[in-house]
Amino acid sequence: MKESGPVVVTGANGFIGSWLVRTLLEEDYPAIHASIFPGSDASHLLSLPGASSGRIRVFEADLLDADAVGRAVEGCTGVFHVASPCTLEDPKDPERELILPAVQGTLNVLEAARKSGTVRRVVLTSSISAMVPNPDWPSCKVFDESSWTDLDYCQSRQKWYPVSKTLAEKAAWVFAENHGMDIVSILPGTCLGPLMQPGLNASSAVLLQLLQGSSDTQEYHWLGAVHVKDVAKAQVLLFEKASAKGRHLCTNGIYQFGDFAERARRLYPDLPIHRFDSYNKLINLFLLCNFICLFLYCTDHQPLQFIRLPNICIASFSQDPLNPRHIRD
């Protein structure tokens, strides 16, 4: 059921957020509050089809500024919380740069939703990084939404993004239980696809580096490629399906980075894609659920289909790997 009132999207001018705003416009949502980090560029949102009629209002809000977040959420019937810091560089201060904005930012959004009195549901965009790595998961069991990332494992290896996403989602579920709030979470794999925002996002940057010949093994990078369009559609579906509950994985599988690199190398042999020495060892673990697509199910068990491998994204990059801004839908 479509909302008659506005909905808010945090991180609206980011990679996933931009596609979500576009999808909401296409689905005839009448009003969208686009929450963006102060000073960031949201001009591409205002040029989307349907945006010229004034359906998008832009709110500058640092997620750590509770008052600003409250202004963006005020009067909304739904919240799509997408914003969360992510960087390919190792943070100098993980607590300040990643963990605090992710956790406290999420709590500020939820508190604003609670105070509004109008929000009926929050769709929290978590990550596959809040589900894996989990070394203690039974080797004979397919990973599913009951798995949580092993925080000690990640902290010992200074992999702070999975820590931030895991802590943020866990904090959200505690908040929801304490306040009786209707929350559903979506855990996308590595989102790939055409870019709308002016800058290169982290997941696309990983792909670009691979196509340019990077030999970084991404040893602790568990990959599940998913098209960003499918993530946006899934977010809207989770909001509209009243019976949707809990966590929802959105990916085509869970596997190691070396396998993804090998597939890309075979598809585009003319590009300088590195063949990792560890690939032959990883092949025995190849696609823990290789032929088991994990679908986001509706209540009538009709699956929302996801693209298995976003070849169109790789093809777009491969035309000019040094200049990804040419990508078009």
The active-site residue out of 165, 229, 233, 241 is 165
Q: With H, G, I as helix, E, B as strand and everything else as coil, classify residue 166.
A: helix
* Gap between the Cα atoms of 148 and 159, Å rounded: 15
- Give the whole-number percent of the chain exceeding pLDDT 70: 79
- Kindly report the pTM of this predicted structure: 0.81
Q: What pLDDT is stored for residue 63 in this prediction? A: 97
DSSP secondary structure of 54-94: TTEEEEE--TT-HHHHHHHHTT-SEEEE------SSPPSSH
Phi, psi of 7, rounded to the nearest 5 degrees:
-125, 155
pLDDT given at position 264: 82
The pLDDT of residue 319 = 38
Hey, what domains does the chain have and what are their CATH numbers? 7-190+227-253+292-309 (3.40.50.720)
Give the per-residue pLDDT at 2.
Answer: 64
Q: Report the pLDDT value the prediction gives residue 83, as an integer from 0 to 100.
A: 96
Using 70 as the pLDDT threshold, list the residues of the chain that sit under it.
1-3, 88, 217-223, 254-255, 277-329
The secondary structure element, H or E, covering residue 228 is helix 228-240
**pLDDT score at 175:** 98
Report pLDDT for 113. Answer: 98
Compute the distance between CA of residue 207 and CA of residue 287 in angstroms, rounded to an integer: 19
| 229 is a catalytic site residue | no
